[in-house]
Amino acid sequence: MRIYLLDNGSIVIDHAQLMWNIGGGTPVRIPSYGLLIEHDDGLFVFDTGFDLDHTNAVLPFELPEQTSEQTIPAQLRACGYEPGDIKTLVNSHLHFDHVGGNKHLNEATVVVHEQELEQARNCQPFERFGYSDRSWDYDGASFRTISGDTEVARGLLLFETPGHTIGHYSLLVTPESGRPMVFAFDVVYTAEALEKGVQPGFHYDPVAGVASIERVKQVAAEHEADIFFSHDMDAWNGYRHAPEFYEG
């Protein structure tokens, strides 16, 4: 198994969104990335980052930065694959900065929590920016909805971590060799937030979010797994970026 982190560029948010109600008024640039996993059962992509044109048009205050080399098609090609090679795409949730490249993977079936799909199509007014990019819901898009903890392939376990959104998933990767990995996605944005138990400023259900922080810690402890954070620039700078990879 090989795990590639696909660099999708970066955006800027207020620190009070990075950690709920802490350090408001301080802008912070955060990374956006997806995963490509080479598996015996095929190629799996988890999340696809943001779309530059959409973000510039709808959320220009987030100052998106994305080069042509940081688009999902270019990142896949850097790993030796074409978008059409991807047959399974998993979305941890359907916020704009996790679905921007979905439309490029139109040969893939999208795996997503059943409640998340419904909420993204009929979201609350306060969620409108989060779910603003609807390009993932194109004509002919194929969805496989799931609920509960689900192993999408051997060693790839999606476990429910609602709070940030109603149908949020995190991912436990247990390779045959090497150290397990937990991708928290948006349960918490940074290592500091996890340590202090502080969820992001944007959330659907803060009580569920607190429970999900504890669940990420529990799963990681049970499997002696390293935790990877979606929006921690310091952590991101220490990760291997595609075409480099983690292997197990």
Residue 178 has pLDDT above 90, yes or no: no
Distance (Å, rounded) from C-alpha 199 to C-alpha 46? 21
DSSP 69: G
Amino acid at 187: V
Catalytic-labelled residue, pool 97, 133, 186, 232: 97
Share of the chain above pLDDT 70, in %: 100
Residue 129 is predicted with a pLDDT of 96
Q: How many residues does the chain have?
A: 248
d(CA 216, CA 182): 8
Task: Tell me which residue of 56, 50, 58 sits closest to 31, measured CA to CA.
Answer: 50
pLDDT of 236 strictly over 90: yes
91-133: pLDDT as tens digits? 999 999 999 999 999 999 999 999 999 999 999 999 999 999 9
User: Does the annotation count 85 as an active-site position?
Assistant: no
Contact 103, 135 (CB under 8 A): yes
The predicted-structure confidence for 181-227, as pLDDT tens digits, reads as follows 999 999 999 999 999 999 999 999 999 999 999 999 999 999 999 99
Query: What's the pTM value of the predicted model, to 2 decimals?
Result: 0.95
Domains of the chain: 2-242 (3.60.15.10)
C-alpha to C-alpha distance for 14 and 21, rounded to whole angstroms = 10
User: Where does the pLDDT of residue 176 fall: very low under 50, low under 70, confident under 90, or very high at 90 and above?
Assistant: confident
pLDDT in tens, 50-60: 999 999 999 99
Task: Report yes or no: 46 and 20 within 8 Å, Cβ to Cβ.
Answer: no
Please tell me the distance from the alpha carbon of residue 173 to that of residue 184, in angstroms, as a whole number.
11
Mean pLDDT score of the chain: 97
Residue 191, class by beta-carbon neighbours within 10 Å (0-12 exposed, 13-18 middle, 19+ buried)? middle
For range 129-138, the mean pLDDT = 97
Is the pLDDT score of 230 beyond 90? yes
Question: Is residue 108 classed as helix, strand or coil in its secondary structure?
Answer: coil
